Structures are given as structure tokens and as C-alpha cells.
Amino acid sequence: MIDIALPAIVLFLIINLIAGMLRVYRGPTLADRMLAALLFSTTTVAALLVLAEWMQLPSLRNVALLIVMLASILSLAFVGLPAGREEAADEQ
């Protein structure tokens, strides 16, 4: 039972992730698109943790820890983009 449930949960999380991609397309602002990236890192972390349990690969937990530890770097780089002219920068 658990052996079926764990991969099903990973599958569900990845579908979640793909659904979140819609926000990258719709925008409308850069911040909206960036938000989607935030969703991806939390979801990937959960998926890796479940995979670690299912595949019995304890090192995957360290990979998950790395991703959450470094997730804020992208946001820190993002805030450097000049504010106020984002529509011009992205609407084409």
C-alpha cells in the first residue's frame, strides 16, 4: 500500500509543479513569474524527500536540504532587477 502511495504522491507533486508553470506564462509581472519558481523549489524538495523514502536512498534528503538552503539565492538575485519597468521588459 505504502509502496504504491509514495510514487503516487511524487507523481501528484510533479503534476502540481507543471500546473504551476501556467503562472510563468500568464504573468503578468516578473514577480508573478518569480513566485512560480518559489513553488517549484518547495515542491521539488517534497518530491525528493518522498523519493528518498520510497527508493531507500538517504542521500536524497541531503539533496533536498541543499535545495531549500540555496532557494533564497535566486530571490536575492531577482530583487536586483530594476523595479517599475518590468512590463516593458517582459511584454513582447
Partner 1 sequence: MTIADSIALILLLAGCAFYLAGTIGLLRFPDVYCRLHALAKADNTGLCLICVGLAILSADWQVAAILALVWLVGLLAATVSAHLIARHAHSAGRVPARSGPSRR
Partner 2 sequence: MIGLALDLLIIVSLIGLAIQSINAASLFRGILHFVVLGLAMSLAWARLDAPDLAMAEAAIGAGVTGALMMIAYRRLIEIQPDQESSLRPPPSRLAVPIALAAGALVGVIGLAAIQAEPMPALAGTAVLENLGSTGLGNPITGVLLLFRGFDTLLEITVLLAALLSAQAVTRQVDLDQSLTTQDPDTPLVGALLAIVVPLTVLVSVHLLKAGGQETGGAFQAGAVLAACGVLLVLTGRLGASRQYSPLVNTGLLVGLLSFILIGLAPLLWGQPLLALPGLWAIYWIESAMMISIALTLVLLFAGAGSLKRRDHG
* b/e 25-45 (16+ beta carbons within 10 angstroms → b): eeeeebeebbebeebbbebbb
Is there binding between residue 68 and partner 1 (CB under 8 A)? yes
10 closest CA partner among 48, 65, 47 = 47
Q: Where does this chain bind partner 1 (CB under 8 A)?
A: 1-2, 5-6, 9, 12-13, 16, 19-20, 22-23, 26, 28-32, 34-36, 38-39, 41-43, 45-46, 49-50, 52-53, 58, 61-62, 64-65, 68-69, 71-72, 74-76, 78-79, 81, 83-84, 86
